[in-house]
Chain A
Amino acid sequence: MTLDPQAVAQARRWYWQRISAMVLALCVLVHLITMILAVRGGLTAAEILGRTQGSLAFAGFYTVFVLACAVHVPIGLATIAREWGRLGERAALWLARGVAGVMLALGLRAVWAVYTAGA
């Protein structure tokens, strides 16, 4: 039987959505626990930036978080667009690529801004 390249791409997307879901599950957990603990020290912008500014651990963690989101969300969105929005495969994929680009740009820009604190 000849191999349908589209089917292989779909199987790969399924795989990467699953892997990114595992990463996200960890990230969300760490994010929530950190937030709950950090709030005890105060909630002002200065205090938050005091913790995040120049922290490579912070920047690294949230970069991974943003990357996992930018992989996971668009793949799911393409499926919703296909099944509920009645979009074709190509249109759904372009929509997904666009969303991935926006999420990457906004997410990484935010990580950079909080890491450097505008310096």
Chain B
Amino acid sequence: MSDTSLQVKIWRGTGATDSGRFVDYSVPRQENQTVLDVVTHVQRVLDATLSYRFACRVGMCGSCAMTVNGQARWTCRTHVAKVLGDDGVLEIAPLSNLPVVKDLATDMSPFFDKWAQARGRFQGDQTRHDPFARVRPDSPERQAANAGIECIGCAVCYSSCDVVQWRPDFLGPAALNRAWTLVNDVRDTERTERLRAVAGDAGCHSCHTQGSCTERCPKGLAPTLGIAGLKRTVARAAVKGTL
């Protein structure tokens, strides 16, 4: 396979000051080549000015997500063979719904600011001198929390969400998934505050349950399910007047 080459289009531009455009590159085709391998080849061999972001290369850190042939993906664990269309062209762009810093690197601040807005931080009332909390692993709350805690913060879900595009203040799937894991953490003491933070249309209630986040999550999580749980919990509290 290494004797053939791969036609690659990479989005080049410097954020808001430049609308950007796709630039063509030809990259040697390798067996078991990932999209991140392709981008790295372009940057190291063809054009050192290409900007992109990666760290662990093994699907743990969540920093290398890009839009590959129209869909947000983690590029380090995406094989070229899996995403190459019939035309044999690989098109790589920055993530949608986030401001572009330069080329393939986006500004992740709005994404992580929304985690903070959704109270994505654990708040307990125990100290290191207290005994360990005893949480039954098979309790419904712990199971619900476990289902969402493997998020690596790659923003693939956020980039794939239509509601984020329509309502820029919508907290997005990752922040709401995080909030849901904490709502189900029996040790956490800020449940009511968190439910307030995720209430309403900027919070969980404008989710249309289209499921793009769940479809695209590289870790196989289901933020849609967590958001549905938040909607029910918050709305019940709002109607009862206990919110």
A117 at the interface (CB under 8 A from B): no
B residues contacting the other copy or chain, number (CB 8 A): 22
Would A82 and B167 be within 8 Å (CB), given that A11-B243, A12-B238, A18-B235 are in contact? yes
B166, B237, B243: the one within 8 Å of A83 (CB): B166
Q: In whole angstroms, what is the CA distance A6 to B196 when docked?
A: 11
Query: What string of 1s and 0s marks CB contacts (under 8 Å) between A1-38 and chain B?
Result: 11110111111111100100000000000000000000
Query: Is the interface on chain A under 10, 10 to 19, 20 to 34, or 35 or more residues?
Result: 10 to 19
B contacts, CB < 8 Å to A: 119, 163, 166-167, 193, 196-197, 199-203, 205-206, 231, 234-239, 243
A26–B235 alpha-carbon span in the complex (Å): 22
0/1 per residue, A73-100, Cβ < 8 Å to B?
0000001001110000000000000000
9 A-B pairs with least C-beta separation: A7-B200, A10-B200, A11-B238, A15-B235, A83-B166, A7-B199, A14-B205, A1-B193, A10-B201
Report whether A10 and B197 are in contact in the complex, using a CB–CB cutoff of 8 Å.
no
**Cα distance A14–B233 in the bound complex, in angstroms:** 12
Task: Show 14 A/B contacts (Cβ-Cβ < 8 Å), sorted by A.
Answer: A1-B119, A2-B196, A4-B200, A7-B196, A7-B199, A7-B201, A7-B203, A8-B199, A10-B200, A11-B205, A12-B235, A12-B238, A15-B235, A79-B206
> In terms of DSSP, what is the predominant structure of the interface of chain B?
helix
Are A7 and B202 also in contact (CB < 8 A) when A1-B197, A83-B166, A84-B166 are? yes
Q: From DSSP, what is the main secondary structure of chain A's interface residues?
A: helix
The answer to whether B200 touches A15, judged by C-beta atoms less than 8 angstroms apart, is no
A102 to B200, CA, bound (A): 26
Given contacts A3-B196, A3-B243, A4-B196, contact A11 B234 (CB under 8 A): yes
Query: What CA separation (Å) do A9 and B238 show in the bound complex?
Result: 8
Given contacts A83-B167, A84-B166, contact A6 B200 (CB under 8 A): yes
Contacts of A84 in B (CB 8 A): 166
Q: Which of A6, A8, A13, A79 contacts B243 (CB 8 A)?
A: A8
A3-B243, A79-B206, A83-B166 are known; give 8 further A-B pairs, CB within 8 A: A4-B196, A7-B201, A7-B202, A8-B199, A11-B205, A11-B231, A14-B235, A83-B167
CA of A14 to CA of B198, assembled, Å = 13
Residues 55-79 (chain A) with a chain B CB within 8 angstroms? 79
- Contact among A1, A3, A4, A10 for B205, CB-based, below 8 A: A10
Closest B residue by C-beta to A83 = B166
A1-B235 in contact (CB<8A): no
* Least distance between B102 CB and chain A CB atoms (Å): 30
Identify the interface centre among B193, B199, B234: most chain A CB within 10 Å of its CB. Answer: B199
Which A residues touch B201, using CB under 8 A?
Answer: 7, 10, 79, 82
The verdict on A15 contacting B196 (CB below 8 Å), with A7-B202, A79-B206 known, is no
A2 to B197, CA, bound (A): 9
Chain A residues whose C-beta falls within 8 Å of the C-beta of B235 in the assembled complex: 11-12, 14-15, 18
Verify A14–B231 contact, CB threshold 8 A. yes
CA distance A45 to B50 in the complex (A): 74
Closest to A86 in B: B166
CA distance A8 to B196 in the complex (A): 8
